[in-house]
């Protein structure tokens, strides 16, 4: 039987949603590995909308996280509020600022972050069932909320971001972009991806290793 993996996206676009390269690379590796994948996103408004050409916030425009994430997966996506962890073997969450703006408010509150209730309940159910979780790029900022105090994770080696993650109650560990960090106690796998990557190939190397490790833990 194929391994069943839930992937949670946070919109569409690096500055206000899910990082598209990270999302596609994750989905591609899972497909290549024969996993059965279902994709989810919260049915909520984005924190804001960013013009990806200029990097500027578009005032007065609103978009929905689920609707935007549907762009990445050709419409094959569901509301995370309807997701049930007991139907899956593992969870993977790509990064992009959406993980820090829509799935959580880490981008605004840092160590005092809160996490979207529906996503958090879904993710914590994996942890409670001792099922593996993969968090990519900035998504590891939510590690302590999902796995508890002392959860080990990485976003690479940025000192300020690492300090903010430590302030959440997690334990940051430096890591190369082409590698991953494995918290054996929590079955938590994290990789820096575009927190460090200078190219799509660098991001792919770390993401592929993360996906392979997550699947090996099922």
> Quick one: which of 198, 152, 151 has its CA closest to 175?
152
CA distance 47 to 16: 7
Length of the chain counted residue by residue: 218
Helix extents (H) in 33-142: 65-72, 98-101, 106-109, 117-128
> Looking at 12, 137, 147, 175, which residue is catalytic?
137
CA distance 51 to 7: 25
Sequence-distant (≥ 6) Cβ neighbours of residue 181 within 8 angstroms:
152, 153, 154, 173, 175, 189, 190, 191
12: annotated active-site residue:
no
Catalytic residue numbers read: 137
């Amino acid at each position: 039987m194929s391994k069943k993996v839930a992937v949670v996206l946070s919109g569409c676009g690096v500055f206000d949603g899910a990082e598209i390269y990270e999302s596609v690379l994750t989905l591609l590796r899972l497909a290549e590995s024969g996993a059965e994948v279902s994709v989810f996103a919260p049915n909520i408004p984005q924190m804001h909308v960013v013009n990806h050409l200029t990097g500027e916030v578009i005032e007065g425009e609103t978009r929905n996280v689920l609707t935007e994430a549907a762009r990445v997966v050709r419409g094959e996506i569901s509301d995370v509020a309807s997701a049930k962890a007991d139907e899956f073997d593992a969870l993977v969450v790509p990064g992009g600022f959406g993980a820090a703006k829509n799935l959580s408010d880490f981008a605004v509150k840092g160590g005092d972050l809160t996490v979207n209730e529906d996503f958090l309940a879904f993710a914590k159910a994996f942890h409670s069932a001792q099922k593996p979780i993969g968090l990519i790029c900035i998504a590891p900022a939510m590690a302590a909320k999902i796995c508890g105090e002392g959860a080990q994770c990485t976003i690479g080696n940025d000192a300020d971001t690492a300090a903010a993650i430590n302030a959440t109650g997690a334990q940051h560990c430096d890591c190369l972009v082409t590698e991953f960090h494995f918290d054996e106690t929590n079955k938590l796998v994290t990789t820096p991806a575009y927190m460090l990557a200078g190219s799509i190939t660098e991001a792919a190397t770390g993401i592929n290793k993360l996906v392979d490790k997550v699947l090996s833990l099922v």
